[in-house]
Amino acid sequence: MEKVYFIGAGPGDPELITIKGQRIVKEADVIIYAGSLVPKEVIDCHKEGAEIYNSASMSLDEVIDVTVKAIKENKKVARVHTGDPAIYGAHREQMDMLDEYGIEYEVISGVSSFLASAAALKKEFTLPNVSQTVICTRIEGRTSVPEKESLESLAKHRASMAIFLSVHMIDKVVETLATSYPMTTPVAVVQRASWPDQKIVLGTLETIEQKVKEAGIKLIQRNMSTIENGRIRHNSDAIATSIIQLICDDMKFRDMQNDTRVILLDSKIKDTKKKMKNNQAKSKKKKNKKRSGNSKFFEKYNDRIQAIQDSESNREKRIKEIEKTGKKNKENEKNSKNIEIQKSEIRQKKENNRQSSKIDVNRKLEEGRMLESRMEETLRRMKEVNKNK
């Protein structure tokens, strides 16, 4: 028996669907696509005779009826969603219903709109030592959001953020984010990312609300979902025409074409380029010290080894003194035995100290090598950044 394929068609550009997703579309006997969100060009590669349905004009029950009927006739079904099905894809409810029918299904991932937006902006969400976290969320509206996941709560992390389905409440978004981010924080609103009519509005928390209104960007919704008997019922696909890309306040960006700073949000940083050069010089200096063997890192442990050796020398002198005392008091066998025991204990402590010192030095040498490796990797990344400039 054939199965159902939930395919992420990408953000809009027909060429951003995956090779596997396109192959399934070509092979499918029945194609149900979100016409309000997925351009027709994505499925134009379908085979001759394939049944095509636009879910924008269908209810959830109608979509399931078509799917179940096709599977019973041993037909391959391609359910084509926008972006990636796992990000606000609303395919979980469909899979739950297919489980009730015992129908097998597979999910094929796609490119989400927040990634296409970053590409359109020519920006990176994560940079070493700047931001290593990306938060994908939405502001609470008709769809509730868990209290611990409120926008105000997430904003406290001051990470890079991608805020979906929220531009129609841009005033509330700005007000909420301002509780944690400075008003100079850069914001980019991307409408219909990767589509031919893509629109980008750049600003800060202080200016973005007015700029969005002037640009006429809105959240277009067509026949949104309703809830019946505790289950979500989609009358059609909801279209989110815009996504807010919020970058954390100390993210450093550059325009790659003219090498001028586009957004510099951390007021403590006066010259990013100068800082990068200084970091490179420091890395090179540390690397040279490591190779020469004259770094303070190893001098510290050489001093420690010398101290241990001096201590052992003192112990040896004590042993010799004890031996002389023992020779003078041969008649006292008990005292002689005690001396031997002390000598044995001292030798054992001496050996233990040597082993401990050796292990400690080896461990620190390994840490030094790891530190050098990280320095070299940092230097390599900086060279790549300079090349791109």
pLDDT digits over 178-228, tens only? 999 999 888 999 989 999 999 999 999 999 999 998 888 875 443 334 333
Buried/exposed code over 24-50 (b: 16+ C-beta within 10 A; e: otherwise): bbeebbbbbbbbbbbbeebbeebeeeb
Instruction: Read off the pLDDT of residues 241-285 as tens digits, 9 standing for 90 and up.
Output: 345 555 443 333 333 222 222 222 322 233 334 444 555 565 555
For 134-168, give one letter per residue: b (16+ CB within 10 A) or e.
bbebbbbeeeeeeeeeebebbbeebbbbbbbbbbb
Task: Report the C-alpha gap between 104 and 1 in whole angstroms.
Answer: 9
Q: Bigger pLDDT: 280 or 59?
A: 59
Structure tokens at 338: 């005690």
Cβ atoms 164, 173 nearer than 8 A: no
Phi, psi of 303 (to 5 degrees): -65, -40
Q: Which two tokens stand for residue 191?
A: 């409408």
Q: 């100079």: which residue's tokens?
A: 184
Token output for 218? 């809105």
Q: Virtual CA dihedral for 366, 369, 375, 379, nearest 10 degrees?
A: -150
pLDDT of residue 50: 96
Q: Give the percent of the chain with pLDDT over 70.
A: 70
Q: Looking at residue 249, what is its pLDDT?
A: 36
pTM (two decimals):
0.58
**Cβ distance 84 to 109 under 8 Å?**
yes
Q: What's the Cα-to-Cα distance from 137 to each of 81, 158, 181, rounded to whole Å?
A: 19, 13, 16
Q: How would you label 235-257 residue by residue, b for 16+ Cβ within 10 Å and e otherwise?
A: bbbbbbbbbbbbbbbbbbbbeee
Roughly what angle, to the nearest 10 degrees, separates helices 333-388 and 272-292?
140
| Residues paired with residue 83 on neighbouring β-strands, in sequence order | 10
Q: What was the pLDDT predicted at 114?
A: 92
Half-sphere exposure at residue 239, Cβ-oriented, CA atoms within 13 angstroms: 19
Spatial distance between the Cα atoms of 8 and 117, rounded to a whole number of angstroms: 16
Task: Tell me: pLDDT of 128 over 90.
Answer: no
Q: Looking at this protein, which amino acid is placed at residue 309?
A: Q
What pLDDT does residue 348 have? Answer: 80
Statement: residue 106 has pLDDT above 50: yes
Phi, psi of 143 (to 5 degrees): -95, 125
Q: Which two tokens stand for residue 348?
A: 């054992």
Average pLDDT of the residues of the chain: 77
Q: Which are the contacts of 342, defined by CB distance < 8 A and separation ≥ 6?
A: 319, 322
Cα angle: 172, vertex 173, 174; to 5 degrees:
90
Per-residue pLDDT at 303: 60
Please state the separation of Cα 149 from the chain's center in Å.
Answer: 18
The answer to whether the CB of 261 falls within 8 A of the CB of 253 is yes
pLDDT of residue 264: 28
End-to-end CA distance of the chain: 55
Q: How confident is the model at residue 141 (pLDDT cuts 50, 70, 90)?
A: confident
Identify any residues that bridge with 203 across adjacent strands, giving them in sequence order.
Answer: 187
Position 285 scores a pLDDT of 59
Which has the closest alpha carbon to 71: 108, 99, 29, 35?
Answer: 29
Residue with tokens 């909420």: 176
- From the list 61, 100, 87, 79, the residue with the least C-alpha distance to 163 is 87
DSSP 8-state code for residue 148: G
